[in-house]
Amino acid sequence: MESAKSEQGLSRIVFTFIIPLIFFKSEFNHLMEQNDAQIGKEGTLEGTPLAENESPQPAMPSMESLLEEEGGLALDFPQSGEIRTGTIASISPSQILVSIGAKSEGVLTGRELEQISEKERAAFEVGQQIPVYIVNPEDQNGNVIVSYTRAQEQIGWDSVESMLQHDEIYEGIVDGFNKGGLIVPVHGLRGFVPASQVSALRRSMAVGDTPDQRWAKMIGEPIAVRVIEVDRERRRLILSERAAGSESRAALKERVIDELKEGGIYSGRVTSLADFGAFVNVNGADGLVHLSELSWDRVHHPSEILEVGQEVKVKVINIEREKRRIGLSIRQLQDDPWRARISAFQVGQLVEGTITRLTKFGAFARLANDVEGLIHISEISESRIEHPREVLRDGEKVTLRIVRIDPDQRRIGLSLRKVDSPAYADKDMKALAKELDFGQDNAPEPAEEPAEEAAQDSTSETTEETEE
């Protein structure tokens, strides 16, 4: 109804003002041509000086100025392919009328209306300004056909071309995938991230024989990309996560370092392996698990216990904020097997050991449960010796006494010269009694060492740490 009224009003304007003015312009041009011809016959030349007291004749007004004088009737007719900002005039289930100026209303109907999502249509209100694309300035019924979705699309292409020109990073969400990579919407357009342009971390998680197995689990995940190719004609928009990686990782690491806490436990994913350790991504930033922090057991290379893409629990043990380094540990979240292995030992106990190494500061001996201890050079003999080889040999089995256990440093101090020490005679007797099952109910307590013996042990420990 409103459209019909608008058409009737426009018709009245045309018949009342425009057609008479067109006729007037035609007559005016005809008279001007006759006047020029008459001037030509009389030989009057352009530029002839005016006679005395003669006033110059005013210039004839143009058609456009006459229309302007008639109340702004110079209509700004829309052009096909033009994008205009219009105001929603009315909304109905079958069409939306948009006022686009020039006393014309654009019509959104049929397929153009169906292409607008239900969510957007529900949000439209009369009086709201929206961009529209001029599909047809005048159809067979005299209507201006416009498209909201095509306007949005053209604005989107303008935006991504600007992003390409200014090398901007876009933070988006993975919306889909195909056999070649991921789909990421950018300003209403479907951007494609080829597998070769996906970050190393994300590729490490893309495990499987089919695209669904490789990419489906990433839908809904955040992703930072750069625009690397725009082709409007082919509707081609290529994105790269790798190209955005260097800058976004630096900014992300700054944020993550501020959020992480030393001693905190986090879930991470292994991103790469090196001879010196493994890099684990925690909350978007990489931290290093040094080789010594991978396991309580000896590890020669991280690949022995880890693989790229594996999810692990890590503990933050060090944060260097100036150098932006994050130190992580896996072994500190595990029970130390060494503590379990030494639970059978106590200070003062006599044990059997096999000499495994001789060094200038002492000898190493392997005990039961694959525990290794050190016999400091000062604990090998009552007499002064220059090197342990003067008394011991590799592979030799000897009886030793445990003189120190340090769980934090994972060290056991052993002594050869104190095997027959009188200070441990009482302890040795109790241990023997228990071994022979003489009815001892309680575990033997280690005997206190004489002050002289304790002083010697302290000297030995200090010397041991210095020489090591």
For 43-84, the DSSP string reads: TPPTTPPPPTTPPPPPPPPPHHHHHHHTTS-------TT-EE
10 Å CB burial of residue 8 (0-12, 13-18, 19+) is exposed
User: Looking at the structure, do residues 368 and 317 belong to the same domain, yes or no?
Assistant: no
Alpha-carbon gap, residue 420 to 212, rounded angstroms: 72
DSSP symbols for 371-398: -EEEEEGGGT-SS--S-GGGT--TT-EE
Distance CA 175, CA 157 (A): 19
- CATH number of the domain to which 201 belongs: 2.40.50.140
* Beta strand extents in 246-320 (DSSP E only): 265-274, 277-282, 285-290, 311-320
Q: Residues 6 or more apart from 266 whose CB is under 8 A from it? A: 260, 282, 283, 313, 314, 316
Structure tokens at 21: 């003015």
pLDDT for 35: 53
The verdict on residue 371 lying in a domain is yes
Q: What is the model's pLDDT at position 371?
A: 87
> b vs e for 415-447, b when ≥16 Cβ sit within 10 Å of the residue's Cβ?
bbbbeebeebeebbebbeeeeeeeeeeeebeeb
Give the model confidence (pLDDT) of 70-122 as tens digits: 444 445 678 888 888 888 889 988 889 888 875 668 888 888 888 888 888 88
Q: What 3-state DSSP class applies to 92?
A: coil
Q: What is the pLDDT of residues 122-147, one digit of tens each?
A: 889 999 999 988 888 887 777 888 88
Residue 416, domain member (yes or no): yes
Tell me the pTM: 0.42
Tell me the CA distances in angstroms from 200 to 135, 168, 214, 270, one per residue in order: 44, 21, 14, 11
Same domain, 366 and 413: yes
For residues 305 and 289, is the Cβ–Cβ distance under 8 A? no
- Report if residue 134 sits inside a domain: no
**Mean residue pLDDT across the chain:** 78
pLDDT at position 356 over 90: yes
* Dihedral (CA of 166, 170, 175, 176) sign: positive
Do both 394 and 432 map to the same domain? yes
**Containing structural domain, residue 441:** 341-467
- Asked if residue 190 is part of any domain, the answer here is yes
Domain presence at residue 445:
yes
Residue keyed to tokens 């000297």:
459
Would 392 be classed as within a structural domain? yes
pLDDT value for 44: 43
Residue 364: inside a domain: yes
Amino acid found at 44 = T
Indicate whether 199 and 286 sit together in one domain: no
Cα 56 from Cα 47, distance rounded (Å): 12
**pLDDT at position 361:** 92
Cα–Cα nearest to 137, from 152, 127, 148, 147: 147
Residue 9 confidence (pLDDT) above 60: no
Q: Are residues 349 and 367 in the same domain?
A: yes
Are residues 238 and 265 both part of a single domain? no
Q: Give, for 184, the enclosing helix (H) or strand (E).
A: strand 181-186
For the stretch 177-201, pLDDT in tens is: 998 899 999 998 999 999 888 887 7
State the pLDDT at residue 420.
Answer: 84
Of 17-21, 130-134, 262-266, 322-326, the one with minimum mean pLDDT is 17-21
| pLDDT computed for residue 460 by the predictor | 46
Q: Give 54 or 265, the one with higher predicted confidence.
A: 265
What is the reported pLDDT for 465?
Answer: 43
Read off the pLDDT of each residue in 390-407 and give the average, rounded to a whole number: 91
* Contact present, 185 and 223 (Cβ < 8 Å): no
In a domain, 89, yes or no: no
Domain total for the chain?
Answer: 4
Find the mean pLDDT for residues 212-229: 90
Q: How much of the chain exceeds pLDDT 70, in percent?
A: 73
Same domain, 434 and 356: yes
The separation between CA 116 and the C-alpha centre of its own chain, rounded to angstroms, equals: 31
